[in-house]
């Protein structure tokens, strides 16, 4: 064969077929191993023999065996082929092992209820995975920002995302301190709120005042809260309510600590617009990442064993 024709050949052309025939001592069996036709195997072998200028097998109607040139070639390339096969297998195994950096964008109140209990268990189980956490109530285009997943209130997750529940269901309601209710009474219906001092919540991501949402007689009702105090921080809002300075709109998850210690009490639960929850969300293209699958499994295991307490934060509703 001419040198320029030789140069057009791929160096590895025909070698896999040669190795398969040498291993199986049969063109038919080699074809089965490589999932091609016997004709394709024979054609590849013939091209290799023409390229090398020497026959590699003795062929009869009943058997096939290596020639001296074939034995020499096999002795030289078989170890290399085994090394390549082993290396590919190790690489495949490594690609299926969680590794790299898991980038998360997380709402602030998800920290004590989700991240803090889950992170130690995740790091212990997968020490080769680095975790990069951004705490923010404004998620924006988390894909363009390079995040693998986010943690957000379910009702504000885009429909095309895949979501995995991280918290028990919770309800939105109005909350006040026992002292406030003793002095001012309890609202019985949403319309009663016009007679009460309310702490207004300015949403950091939009800058507007959040209107309190209710479901009354099957209709969605939104009320503009009245009051002298306006904040843009959920924790401060709950502290103000705990001091008896007004009513707030929050959830049984956000206010779980204050509810547990008796600082706040809920009202208008029967008018809650529905239950919600805290979710880990991600795209379909990232769901098969080993590092993300490992985090999801750790979340599921911890939730099953510890039964995560009610509470969370949202980028849209007051916290």
Q: Please tell me the predicted confidence (pLDDT) of residue 274.
A: 75
pTM, 2 dp: 0.58
Q: Please tell me the predicted confidence (pLDDT) of residue 6.
A: 44
Q: Please tell me the predicted confidence (pLDDT) of residue 7.
A: 46
User: CB-based burial of residue 258 (10 Å sphere; 0-12 exposed, 13-18 middle, 19+ buried)?
Assistant: buried
Looking only at the bridges linking them, the beta strands covering 229-231 and 199-201 are: parallel
Beta strands in 81-211 (DSSP E): 100-106, 129-135, 149-153, 162-165, 170-176, 199-201
Q: Please tell me the predicted confidence (pLDDT) of residue 300.
A: 85
Q: Which residues on adjacent β-strands are paired with residue 149?
A: 104
Tokens in use for 188?
């019985």
CA dist list (Å): 44 to 19, 21, 36, 37, 47: 12, 11, 11, 11, 5
Distance separating alpha carbons of residues 37 and 58, to the nearest angstrom: 20
Q: Please tell me the predicted confidence (pLDDT) of residue 285.
A: 82
Residues in the chain: 319
Mean pLDDT, 10 residues at a time, the chain of 319 residues: 50 88 90 90 92 90 88 91 76 71 88 87 92 83 82 84 87 95 95 94 82 90 92 92 96 90 95 86 86 91 59 43
Q: How many CA atoms does the CB half-sphere of 314 hold within 13 Å?
A: 28
- Of 269, 256, 229, 226, the C-alpha closest to 319 is 256
Q: Interior CA angle at 202 toward 201 and 206, to 5°?
A: 140
Q: Is the sign of the CA dihedral 117, 123, 129, 135 positive or negative?
A: positive
Distance separating alpha carbons of residues 16 and 243, to the nearest angstrom: 78
Buried b (16+ CB within 10 A) or exposed e, 265-282: bbbbeebbbeebbbbbbb
Distance separating alpha carbons of residues 109 and 317, to the nearest angstrom: 12
Task: Enumerate residues 6+ apart whose C-beta is below 8 A from 193.
Answer: 174, 187, 212, 223, 225, 226, 247
């Amino acid at each position: 064969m001419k040198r320029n024709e030789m140069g057009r050949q791929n160096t590895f052309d025909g070698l896999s077929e040669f190795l398969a025939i040498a291993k199986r001592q049969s063109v038919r069996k080699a074809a089965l191993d490589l999932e091609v036709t016997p004709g394709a195997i024979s054609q590849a072998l013939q091209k290799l023999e023409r390229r090398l200028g020497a026959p590699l097998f003795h062929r009869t109607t009943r058997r096939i065996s290596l020639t001296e040139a074939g034995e020499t070639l096999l002795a030289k390339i078989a170890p290399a082929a085994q090394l390549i096969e082993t290396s590919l297998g190790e690489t495949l195994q490594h690609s299926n092992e969680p590794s790299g950096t898991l980038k998360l964008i997380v709402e602030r109140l998800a920290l004590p209820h989700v991240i803090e209990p889950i992170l130690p268990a995740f790091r212990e189980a997968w020490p080769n995975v680095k975790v990069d956490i951004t705490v923010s109530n404004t998620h924006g285009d988390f894909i363009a920002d390079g995040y693998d997943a986010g943690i957000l209130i379910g009702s504000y997750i885009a429909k095309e995302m895949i979501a995995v529940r991280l918290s028990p269901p919770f309800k939105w309601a109005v909350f006040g301190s026992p002292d406030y209710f003793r002095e001012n009474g309890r609202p019985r219906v949403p319309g009663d709120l016009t007679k009460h001092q309310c702490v207004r919540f300015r949403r950091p991501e939009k800058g507007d005042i959040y209107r309190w949402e209710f479901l009354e007689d099957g209709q969605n009702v939104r009320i503009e809260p009245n009051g002298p105090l306006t904040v843009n921080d959920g924790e401060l809002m709950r502290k103000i309510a705990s001091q008896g300075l007004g009513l707030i709109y929050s959830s049984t998850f956000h206010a779980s600590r204050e509810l547990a210690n008796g600082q706040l009490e809920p009202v208008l639960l029967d008018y809650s617009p529905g239950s919600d929850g805290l979710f880990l969300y991600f795209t379909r293209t990232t769901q098969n990442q080993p590092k993300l699958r490992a985090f999801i499994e750790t979340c599921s295991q911890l939730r099953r064993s510890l039964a995560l307490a009610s509470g969370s934060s949202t980028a849209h509703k007051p916290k």
